[in-house]
Amino acid sequence: MPPAMPELDQPLLLAPDLKEKIWGRERLDPLYGSAEAKGGSAPPRSRRSAKHAPTTVARRIGEAWLTGDGATFMTGPVSGLTLGEVLARSPGELCGPGWKADYFPFLAKFLFTSDWLSMQVHPDDEYALHHEKSRGKTEAWYIVEGGQNASIALGLAPGTSREALESACRQGRSREVAQSFRPNPAEGVFVPSGTLHALGPGLVLFELSETSDITYRLDDYGRLDHRGRARDLHLERGLETVRLDAPAYRDLPRLEFEEEFGSRRYVVACRYFAIEVLAVESRHTFPPPPDRVEALAVIGGEGRVETSRGWLAYASGQTWLIPPRSEAYRLVPEEASRLMRFYVPDLDRDFRQPLAERGVVPGLIGKVVFEN
């Protein structure tokens, strides 16, 4: 029998699990330095390497899984264990009272693109359970950086039939029947299950979703992998899953408000997850989460995470888990910092009520809070 899990009562640094992708890139700036790219999982950066290390890697990294099972704890009493190992031993201690599932509550990633991803769609929970014995996948994106030629396909062009979509996919021209747009920095995008989509080149983005990686690839544009083989398509299930009339929920309203520490932006929330952006300009003590696990992903700046035990440095690209029994912690920026805060929300308590108290009208709240 494994030893009892120690109490998780402090913020914990997680090193991401890096994934090679055909559409990935060798440069992972502005988020990661070379130390992160040498192995499958990345160690935390020192303050010096965060500023000065080259950001070139020998492999084409497309995804950094921040809260995947293979992410590794770098601090605290579980240092050296993976998220999956800690979850298997003590799900309630890590995720909150009553949590007994064998998966983490949400899946967060950074994506780095140098080419188009396949045209794809994710199933909803009901379809995924029936056909895949899995959860579906609703997701959201926050654009960290977009190059000059950055582009995203999201949803079908109005009037496109299922037959027309199938024909376009079989001919490798699915982008012709999809709506495309150039993403803006700091743009929020909501992608419910059933929405046809594809990320284009030149992007660095944060993705948050249900804990699922079920993807139906409808079109890969005739591309070959490193072995010279075409990647599998999933046309039948993809066509069954896609919603022809799915809206393109992009460029969500930027509902940002001053706080003692700087500002807070309410990016998007649904029953599966919520995303905020904290602009931290001065030191501030944050309370522990209310009976749930929360996470912070640093997308800019550096500083310290302080607790009663001492402090540790934070830097861009890092992810910090805040377990439900964590003590209060203080963020002390050494330069202005931006952090993604994400969690499974109470939609009224965490989004609707604070937005209404700040004078946001219900119609505008409904553009960032979704029932999907």
Q: How confident is the prediction for the chain on average, in pLDDT?
A: 92
Q: Which residue range forms the structural domain that includes residue 289?
A: 255-365
Report pLDDT digits (tens) over 36-75. Answer: 433 344 444 444 333 434 455 568 999 999 999 999 999 9
Q: Do 219 and 83 share a domain, yes or no?
A: yes
Please determine, for residue 139, whether its predicted confidence score (pLDDT) is greater than 60.
yes
Tokens representing residue 78 in the block: 């579980």
Q: Do 338 and 193 share a domain, yes or no?
A: no
- Who's near 249: CB < 8 A, 6+ residues apart? 189, 190, 191, 192, 370
Q: Do 220 and 88 share a domain, yes or no?
A: yes
How many domains, the chain?
2
- Give the integer Cα–Cα distance in Å for 286 and 73: 21
Q: Do 41 and 176 share a domain, yes or no?
A: yes
Q: For a pLDDT cut of 90, what percent of the chain falls above it?
A: 86
Q: Do 141 and 280 share a domain, yes or no?
A: no
| pLDDT given at position 36 | 42
Which domain CATH number covers 228?
2.60.120.10
Tokens representing residue 335 in the block: 């330069």
Q: Cβ distance 16 to 301 under 8 Å?
A: no
Q: Do 196 and 291 share a domain, yes or no?
A: no
pTM score: 0.93
Q: Do 260 and 316 share a domain, yes or no?
A: yes
Report pLDDT digits (tens) over 227-271. Answer: 888 899 999 999 999 999 999 999 999 999 999 999 999 999 999
Report pLDDT digits (tens) over 106-131. Answer: 999 999 999 999 999 999 999 999 99
Which of 185, 207, 241 is the C-terminal boundary of a domain?
A: 241
Q: For a pLDDT cut of 70, what percent of the chain falls above it?
A: 92
DSSP annotation of 324: T
354 in a structural domain: yes
Q: Do 273 and 210 share a domain, yes or no?
A: no
Q: Cβ distance 268 to 252 under 8 Å?
A: yes
Q: Do 88 and 161 share a domain, yes or no?
A: yes
